[in-house]
C-alpha cells in the first residue's frame, strides 16, 4: 500500500476571472521509503503541493489518501492531529522556537500529543543523539550554527516517527559545508527506512534522491526514478533551459549554471535597467535646469 | 493537558518578564488596594464585635424607641431623644433585674453637664451606671479601678483616656477632683485607650462614668438610654429577651415604645455601615479588575501578533486550534492570577505596616483571598479569550511565512 496517493488534486486561489490555478489536477503516488526531490521554478506549485501533502492546506478538488485513509475533507482539528502523528516538517529557515532549548524544541510535537514530560524529553534526547547534537541539547537556538539548527529541526521532524518527512529547501539558508552535512543526515534518515519529500532549487541535491519530480505551472512535467548519487541528465537539461527566464532561480543554482552555460552573465536583459535609470536621471536634470532658468 | 498549558504559559511569561510585570501591574494595584481596604474593614468589625466583653453572645440590649429606630443609633441621637414617651425608667431596669435568667444588668444613663478642673472645661458624655458595666465593655482599666457596688453612692468617677489627657493633661490623674454641676468627684480609674469605633454607642475615651446613686444627687433627670442585660447563656438569650419585652410592655401601659435587641441586632448599625462600604469596595474591585483585564487583553493581542511565527510553528508540529486557544487563554489566566497573588502579598505587607504604625488591626480572611483568586481566574479567561481565539484562527501557512 502506498503511503500517499493523490488523485487529480487541484488548488485554486481566488474566483471568477481572477482565479489562479496553483495545482492543476496532479496525481501522484508515494511509496514507503522513497526519497523524492521536487524541483521546479517559483510559482510552479511545489510549495502548494507540500502544504497540501503536509496538511497545512486543503485541496480545492481531488482526493488525498494517507496510509489508506482519505483525509482531504477532514476538519481542521483532525487535520492537525493527522499532521502531528504522520508528518515531520523541515523548513528552510529552521523554525525552531527561540525561547525553548534544543531539547524542548525537539520534544514539542510530543507535547501536543499529550506525552508526559519526562518521557518526551527522553525520546527527544534519543533522536538528538541520532543527529549528533546530544552535547547541545540545553542550548537555545540562538547559540547554534545554521547547520546545527537544521539538524535539530530534522530531529524534531523525526521524533514522532512520522509516515513522511517534508523538507522545504532544507539547505537554502546554509553554507555549502553545513548543507552537505545536513543532506548526508537526511540521506541517512532515508536509508533507515523513512520516506522523504524534499523541495529544492539546487539540481545537484537531486543526487540524494531516488525519484525526481519536476513541476511547472501547477503540473508534474517529469517524474522519474534515478539512482541515488546521480543527477539525471534530462532533468538537469530541462532545468537549465527553463531557468533562463527566472532571476531567483538563476541565483539559487548559480553554481550549477556556471557548469552548463558559461556565458550567462552576458545576457542582454542585464543591461536594460541601467539604461532606464539613466534616462530618468536625465529627465530630472532637465527639469532642474528648467526650474533654474525660471 | 492543562498542566502542559500552564508550563508553556509560565515559559513564555518568564521569557518576557518585564512586559509581563507591566501587564500584571493593573491587577496588582487593584487587588492590593481592595484587599487592604477589606482587611481594614474586617479588622475594625472584629474589634467592635470583641467589645461586648465577657458577656459575649449572651448580650441583650434594651433601647427606647421602635425597633427600627433603635437599631441605627448613635450616642448623639440617643441623647437628643427626648425624655418623654418611650424613655426607659428606673422601674424598667429594676424589673428587668428580677427576670429569671438575667445575671447582670447595667444601665447607661446620661446627665447633661460639663466637667471642670482648675477652670478647664471638658464636654464629653457623662454616664451614670453601676458596677456591672465593665463586664459589658471589652475595655480594660489602665490605672486604678472601676467603682464597685459598695461605691454606688460615693463621689468617684472613672474617666476615659481622652478626658485624662485633655482635662487633667496627665496620664494618671487618680485622686484628682473634677467638678460636675458644682459637685466634686474623685477620679478612681482611667480606662485604656479605646482603639476604634464604638460599642453600643459609647465612646469610652471621652466619657466620664459616675456611680448611678451618686449621680442621682446631682441630677434629678437621668435619662436611661440603654440597658445592658446579660443572660445566663447564649442559648437563653431568646427567652430572656422575650421575657424582658413582656415585662416592659406591662410597665409601659401596653405600649411597645422600646426595643429589645440581641447582640447581632445591637451591632447592626455597625453592620449597615460596613455593608455600604462593602458594596462600594466591590464596585472599586470590579472596576480595577475590568481595567486590569483590559490591560491583559491588550498585551495578549500584541503578543499574539508578535508571535505569529511561533503559532505557525506550533501548528506545523501538530498543535490543534483548541490547543493553541488553551495555551493562550492559560497565559492570560496565569498573568492575571500571578497579578492577583502579588496583589494579595502587597496588601499583606501594607497590613503589616498599618498594624505597626497605627492602632488599626487589619484582618485578611481566607474568603477574601479565595474571592480574589476566583476573580483573577475569571478576569484572565475573559480577557484572554479573544486574543487566544485570534491566535487559534491563524492560518499556519501565512503564519509561517
For residues B50 and B212, which has the higher predicted lDDT (pLDDT)?
B212
Residue A95 belongs to domain spanning: 32-60+75-268
The CATH number given to whatever domain includes residue A211 is: 3.40.50.300
Q: Per the domain annotation, does A110 fall within a domain?
A: yes
**Domain spans of chain B, in order of start:** 2-49+271-400, 113-218
pTM of the model: 0.68
Q: How far are the Cα atoms of A32, A164, B317 from residue A66, in angstroms, in the given order? A: 11, 10, 17
Q: Using CA atoms, how far apart are residues B58 and B52, in angstroms rounded to an integer?
A: 9
B325 touches B392 (CB < 8 A): yes
* Cβ neighbours of A81 in B, within 8 Å: 318, 320
Q: What is the pLDDT of residues A94-126, one digit of tens each?
A: 999 998 999 999 999 999 998 899 999 999 999
Bridge partners (DSSP) of residue A30 are A4
Which residue shows C-alpha cell 528552510?
A92
Least CB-CB distance to A51: which of B12, B320, B397? B397
Residue B57 pLDDT greater than 80, yes or no: no
Q: Per the domain annotation, does A13 fall within a domain?
A: no
Q: Is A99 on the interface with B (CB under 8 A)?
A: yes
Q: How confident is the model at residue B84 (pLDDT cuts 50, 70, 90)?
A: very low
User: What angle in degrees, to the nearest 10, is found between the helix axes of A146-158 and A176-191?
Assistant: 20
Contacts of residue B224, Cβ cutoff 8 Å, sequence gap at least 6 = B64, B87, B88, B89, B90, B92, B93, B107, B108, B109
Q: Is B312 on the interface with A (CB under 8 A)?
A: yes
Q: Per the domain annotation, does A257 fall within a domain?
A: yes
Q: Per the domain annotation, does A274 fall within a domain?
A: no
- Best of B10, B307, B314, B317 to disrupt the A interface by mutation (most A CBs within 10 Å)? B317
Q: Using CA atoms, how far apart are residues A104 and B194, in angstroms rounded to an integer?
A: 62
- Min distance B366 CA to chain A CA atoms (Å): 34
Number of structural domains chain A divides into: 1
- Best of B15, B314, B318, B391 to disrupt the A interface by mutation (most A CBs within 10 Å)? B318
A82 to chain B: closest CA residue: B318
Q: Euclidean distance between the first and final Cα of chain A, in Å? A: 83
A96 to chain B: closest CA residue: B313
Q: What is the pLDDT of residues B102-153, one digit of tens each?
A: 888 989 888 888 888 888 888 888 898 988 888 887 778 888 888 888 888 8
State the ipTM, two decimals: 0.79
Contact criterion met (CB < 8 Å) for B12 and A99: yes
Q: And the C-alpha cell for A79? A: 487535520
Residue B65 pLDDT greater than 90, yes or no: no
Q: Is B318 on the interface with A (CB under 8 A)?
A: yes
| Helix (H) / strand (E) containing B88 | none
Q: Per the domain annotation, does A285 fall within a domain?
A: no
Q: Is A114 on the interface with B (CB under 8 A)?
A: yes
Q: How confident is the model at residue A270 (pLDDT cuts 50, 70, 90)?
A: very low
Q: Looking at residues B7-26, what average pLDDT do you find? A: 87
* Cβ neighbours of A76 in B, within 8 Å: 320-321
Amino acid at each position: 500500500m502506498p503511503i500517499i496517493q493523490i488523485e487529480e488534486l487541484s488548488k485554486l486561489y481566488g474566483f471568477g476571472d481572477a482565479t489562479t490555478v496553483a495545482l492543476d489536477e496532479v496525481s501522484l503516488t508515494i511509496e514507503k521509503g522513497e526519497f523524492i526531490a521536487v524541483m521546479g521554478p517559483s510559482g510552479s506549485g511545489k510549495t502548494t503541493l507540500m502544504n497540501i501533502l503536509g496538511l497545512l492546506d486543503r485541496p480545492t478538488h481531488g482526493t488525498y489518501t494517507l496510509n489508506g485513509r482519505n483525509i482531504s475533507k477532514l476538519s481542521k482539528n483532525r487535520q492537525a492531529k493527522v499532521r502531528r502523528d504522520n508528518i515531520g516538517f523541515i523548513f528552510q529557515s529552521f523554525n525552531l522556537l527561540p525561547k525553548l532549548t534544543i531539547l524542548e524544541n525537539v520534544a514539542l510535537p510530543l507535547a501536543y500529543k499529550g506525552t508526559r514530560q519526562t518521557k518526551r524529553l527522553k525520546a527527544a534526547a534519543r533522536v538528538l543523539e541520532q543527529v549528533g547534537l546530544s552535547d547541545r541539547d540545553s542550548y537555545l537556538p540562538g547559540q547554534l550554527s545554521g547547520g546545527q539548527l537544521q539538524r535539530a529541526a530534522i530531529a524534531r521532524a523525526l521524533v514522532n516517527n512520522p509516515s513522511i518527512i517534508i523538507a522545504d529547501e532544507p539547505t537554502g539558508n546554509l553554507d555549502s559545508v553545513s548543507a552537505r552535512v545536513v543532506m548526508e543526515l537526511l540521506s541517512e534518515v532515508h536509508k533507515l527506512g523513512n520516506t522523504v519529500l524534499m523541495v529544492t532549487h539546487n539540481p545537484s541535491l537531486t543526487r540524494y534522491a531516488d525519484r525526481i519530480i519536476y513541476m511547472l505551472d501547477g503540473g508534474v512535467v517529469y517524474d522519474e526514478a534515478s539512482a541515488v548519487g546521480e543527477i539525471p541528465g534530462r532533468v538537469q537539461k530541462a532545468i537549465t533551459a527553463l531557468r533562463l527566464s527566472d532571476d531567483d532561480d538563476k541565483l539559487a543554482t548559480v553554481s550549477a549554471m556556471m557548469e552548463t552555460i558559461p556565458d550567462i552573465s552576458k545576457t542582454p536583459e542585464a543591461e536594460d535597467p541601467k539604461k532606464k535609470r539613466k534616462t530618468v536621471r536625465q529627465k530630472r536634470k532637465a527639469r532642474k535646469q528648467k526650474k533654474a532658468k525660471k | 493537558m492543562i498542566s502542559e498549558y500552564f508550563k508553556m504559559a509560565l515559559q513564555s511569561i518568564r521569557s518576557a518578564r518585564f512586559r509581563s510585570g507591566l501587564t500584571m501591574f493593573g491587577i496588582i494595584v487593584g487587588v492590593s488596594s481592595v484587599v487592604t481596604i477589606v482587611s481594614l474593614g474586617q479588622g475594625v468589625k472584629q474589634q467592635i464585635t470583641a467589645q461586648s466583653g465577657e458577656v459575649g453572645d449572651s448580650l441583650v440590649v434594651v433601647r427606647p424607641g421602635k425597633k427600627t429606630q433603635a437599631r441605627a443609633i448613635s450616642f448623639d441621637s440617643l441623647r437628643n431623644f427626648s425624655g418623654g414617651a418611650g424613655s426607659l425608667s428606673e422601674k424598667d431596669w429594676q424589673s428587668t433585674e428580677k427576670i429569671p435568667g438575667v445575671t447582670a444588668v447595667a444601665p447607661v444613663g446620661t446627665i447633661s453637664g460639663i466637667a471642670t478642673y482648675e477652670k478647664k472645661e471638658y464636654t464629653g458624655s457623662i454616664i451614670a451606671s453601676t458596677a456591672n458595666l465593665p463586664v459589658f465593655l471589652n475595655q480594660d482599666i489602665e490605672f486604678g479601678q472601676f467603682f464597685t457596688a459598695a461605691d454606688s453612692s460615693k463621689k468617684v468617677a472613672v474617666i476615659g483616656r481622652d478626658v485624662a489627657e485633655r482635662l487633667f493633661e496627665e496620664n494618671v490623674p487618680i485622686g484628682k477632683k473634677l467638678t460636675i454641676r458644682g459637685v466634686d468627684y474623685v477620679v478612681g480609674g482611667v480606662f485604656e485607650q479605646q482603639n476604634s469605633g464604638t460599642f453600643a454607642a459609647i465612646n469610652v475615651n471621652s466619657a466620664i462614668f459616675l456611680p448611678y446613686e451618686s449621680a442621682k444627687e446631682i441630677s434629678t433627670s437621668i435619662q436611661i438610654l440603654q440597658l445592658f442585660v446579660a443572660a445566663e447563656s447564649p442559648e437563653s438569650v431568646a427567652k430572656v429577651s422575650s421575657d424582658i419585652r413582656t415585662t416592659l410592655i406591662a410597665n409601659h401601659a401596653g405600649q411597645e415604645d422600646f426595643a429589645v435587641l440581641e447582640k447581632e441586632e445591637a451591632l447592626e448599625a455597625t453592620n449597615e455601615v460596613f455593608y455600604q462600604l462593602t458594596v462600594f469596595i466591590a464596585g472599586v474591585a470590579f472596576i480595577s479588575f475590568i481595567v486590569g483585564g483590559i490591560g491583559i487583553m491588550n498585551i495578549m493581542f500584541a503578543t499574539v501578533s508578535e508571535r505569529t511565527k511561533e503559532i505557525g510553528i506550533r501548528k506545523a508540529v501538530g498543535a490543534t486550534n483548541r490547543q493553541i486557544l488553551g495555551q493562550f487563554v492559560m497565559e492570560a489566566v496565569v498573568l492575571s492570577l500571578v497579578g492577583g497573588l502579588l496583589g494579595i502579598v502587597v496588601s499583606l505587607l501594607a497590613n503589616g505596616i498599618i498594624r505597626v504604625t497605627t492602632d488599626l488591626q487589619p484582618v485578611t480572611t481566607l474568603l477574601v483571598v479565595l474571592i480574589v483568586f476566583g476573580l483573577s481566574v475569571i478576569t484572565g479567561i475573559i480577557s484572554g479569550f479573544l486574543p487566544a481565539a485570534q491566535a487559534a484562527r491563524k492560518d499556519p501557512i501565512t503564519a509561517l511565512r
